[in-house]
Amino acid sequence: MKYFVAVYQKLKNIYMSQSSMENDLPMICPSLRVYDNEELELLKPQSLLNDEQKKALSIIKKQNVAYELNSVPISPNFWDLNPNNSLFDIYRDILDKNNLKDLEENLDKVLDHKSPVLFDAKNSDTKEFKAYKKYRTLFEEAVNKITDHLVQFEGLDTDEEKSNWNDKLINLNNLKELTFSEWKVKGSKDHIEKELARINKSSDADLYLAMAQNAKQTFEAAEKTDVISNSSIHDIHFIPYDFMENESGWNSLRIEKSELEGLHAEAKNSNENIPTEILSIDYDESMIQAVELDYSFVHLKRNWFNKNFMLSDYFEWKEPKKIADGETISNDFKLPAFPKTMILIKNLKVILDPSIVSASVSNTEQLIYFGPMVMKQQVFINKNNNQRFLKAITNVKTIKSDQLNYLAKKTVIAENKASIISSFNAKTAIGSEPAETMKTATHASFSGKTNRGNMINAVKNLQPLNPVPHGASPVQPVNQPTNPIKVPWGSWVPKFPTIPTPTPISIPVSLPPEGAVVQFRVSDKINNDPIYKCAISIKGTNNNRIFEIESNEAGMISQLIPPGDYSIELRIDDYAILNQNFSITNVLPLNLEYKLQREEVKFKSYFLIGMICERMPRIPVN
């Protein structure tokens, strides 16, 4: 979680330095949320959807995601999904309990009664109102003459011209003061303007009433009519509106290790809007050299929501639970803040130490994390600079699958096993390795307050660094390690803020199950060209196995898969999703070939790592 917090702190600093407002409240999302293009696109207003099929889907499916992104924070330390505390439910309740009926009746009485100060029985201006207009006009003309005279000063050359100009300015100022006095006395200035202020105040009340009634009628219509009308409440206008279609609003970022350390220290020292439970998780991440990602701040606009409704002098709130005090974020207030800007990232790459080999991270029995983000168990290599890195799993179905939940629980147990035997394995494998290596292994075993230390640095020297052909990306070993030991360098928090603290137990690590080396080949159905970077998701249908891998430049990738029945999903931009099944019945090598059909489909996924909320100002209680 250490460097994940550092990434959040960096993005928070960028936002606060560029476009922050006084009441902006950046908040980390510790459980992390992943949304794909389809989910967010359904939240767009119907007018922005060109596909009729998407319009129909949006009516049915958009509600759940809308409730999530409208979750109102109830903690000052983090933001997370809370569908039971949704902005439109709270706002609708405020509209229902605000006393609009009394205001409407009083306002009708004011508007029906003509002002006798301004108009007579024939609806003509009164003598006082005519005088007011006459002397106000004379005063405005006197001010305009002074303005015109001031402009002439730049064209004066001699002292005599400037002296004459100054004398005239004095006369004009005297004339202005005289006309102002006549306006006050003969034009009944104070009396007329007091009446105008009363009428303007009634107009403000009229505008307030119209705004409140419009919002209330929107919700009432949604409840009384069918699902089509109801779906309009769940619409969200995204700014930039086209962040899903192109790179508009996206920026690239690379954070080196030294800066990551500094950012984490900054977050820990400030302890602002980040839970102490998260900040206290401090473990060794020495194998991480840098982090690369794209980020965007996507603003959420809602047609039906207007906070000014509650800030008006005419707003009345007599319920026992206050709306907001302008400071406290808690469940003691009805609407202490509301979500307004998503902090999204995509294309995450965790750059690894050059000595890390594929075998160190390819154990299919466990998961690798970057904070709460689950990483693919596959080392990729940048062919331009030979940097090794990991990618995050972006398939939402995989992340939400039962298999992933099973492995997550299993990983916690495996971490305890690894922490007990790591020193012994390192000693037997290395033999006469210097004492410093043993020190590193021991530190990795027991560092961190939750026993979630990173074991990759303790085992990375146990496996030889296999030569990698130039341009090979990604890399997958054929021979798996006999006794792999791997503990994820992150901390998954399935339900915040509960963070499990496992007790180490002495149980030997089991050998990896036997299986077949399956080679997948993915190509274009029309021209048979290999498809590079095709995401391959494999899930067991009669076991809890799960694999997330990608094809290399030759459109191929090999994976050791235990016997069993599996479903496979292949997806990449510009191609239709391909879903099929296959079975492993023995340990003999198996070749599987898949051909994809071209289709205009985009499979982008976004990680919501934080939310900018807006703190509500103090709402007075009447």
Confidence of residue 259 (pLDDT cuts 50, 70, 90): very high
**pLDDT over 70 percentage in the chain:** 71
User: Does some domain include residue 434?
Assistant: no
Residue 592 lies in a domain: yes
Which residues span the domain enclosing 552?
516-599
Are the C-beta atoms of residues 577 and 570 closer than 8 Å to each other?
A: yes
pLDDT of 426 above 50: no
pLDDT of residue 81: 86
Q: Is residue 76 part of a domain?
A: no
Query: Residue 542: how many CA atoms within 13 Å on its side-chain side?
Result: 9
> How many Å apart are CA 112 and CA 109, to the nearest integer?
5
Per-residue confidence band for 83, with pLDDT thresholds at 50, 70 and 90: confident
Residue where one domain finishes, among candidates 157, 185, 212:
212
Check pLDDT > 90 for residue 575.
yes
**Which of 109-123, 205-219, 499-513 ranks highest by mean pLDDT?**
109-123
Cα(434)–Cα(421) distance, integer angstroms: 19
pLDDT band at 9 (very low <50, low <70, confident <90, very high): very high
pLDDT for 58 equals 65
322 lies in a domain? Answer: no
DSSP 292-320: EEEEEEEEEE-TT--THHHHSTT-----S
Higher pLDDT, 239 or 438: 239
Q: Choose between 406 and 494: higher pLDDT.
A: 406
| Structure confidence at residue 435 (pLDDT) | 31
Residue 258 in domain:
no
Residue 473 has pLDDT above 50, yes or no: no
Range in 2-16, 95-109, 431-445, 583-597 the model is least confident about: 431-445
Amino acid code (one letter) for 132: Y
Query: Would you tell me how many other CB atoms lie within 10 Å of the CB of residue 289?
Result: 17
Per the domain annotation, does 71 fall within a domain? no
Q: Kind of pairing, strands 546-550 and 388-391?
A: unpaired
- Of 4-8, 256-260, 271-275, 414-418, least confident by mean pLDDT is 414-418
Average pLDDT over residues 148-154: 84
CB neighbour burial string for 139-151, b if at least 16 within 10 angstroms, e if fewer: beebeeeeeeeee
Q: Is the pLDDT of residue 498 over 70?
A: no
Task: Give me the pLDDT at residue 88, please.
Answer: 82
Looking at 149, 182, 212, the residue that finishes a domain is: 212
End-to-end CA gap in the chain:
46
Average pLDDT over residues 390-407: 86
What does 530-569 look like in DSSP terms, one character per residue?
Answer: B-TT-EEEEEESSS--EEEEE--TTSEEEEEE-SEEEEEE
Q: Quick check: 302 pLDDT over 80?
A: yes
pLDDT at 157 over 50: yes
pLDDT at 67: 85
Q: Is the pLDDT of residue 487 over 50?
A: no
* Residue range 254-274: mean pLDDT, rounded: 87
The answer to whether position 618 is within a domain reads no
Whether residue 44 is predicted with pLDDT greater than 70 in this model: the reply is yes
Task: Please give the pLDDT value at position 547.
Answer: 92
Q: Is the model's pLDDT at 80 over the cut of 60?
A: yes
The rounded percent of the chain whose pLDDT value lies above 90 is 28
Amino acid found at 406: Y
CA 527 to mean position of chain CA atoms: 40
156-165, 300-309, 434-443: which is most confident: 156-165
Tell me if the bond preceding 497 is cis, omega within 30° of 0.
yes
Total of domains in the chain: 2
Mean pLDDT of 15-40: 86
CATH of residue 547: 2.60.40.1120
Among the listed ranges 274-278, 363-367, 439-443, which one has the minimum average pLDDT value?
A: 439-443
Range in 115-129, 255-269, 394-408, 411-425 with the lowest mean pLDDT: 411-425
Q: What is the mean pLDDT of residues 393-411?
A: 83
Confidence of residue 442 (pLDDT cuts 50, 70, 90): very low
Per-residue model confidence (pLDDT) at position 281: 72
- Stretch 590-616: mean pLDDT, rounded? 91
At residue 125, does pLDDT exceed 80? yes
- Which one of 212, 235, 260 terminates a domain? 212
Residue at 50 is within a domain: no
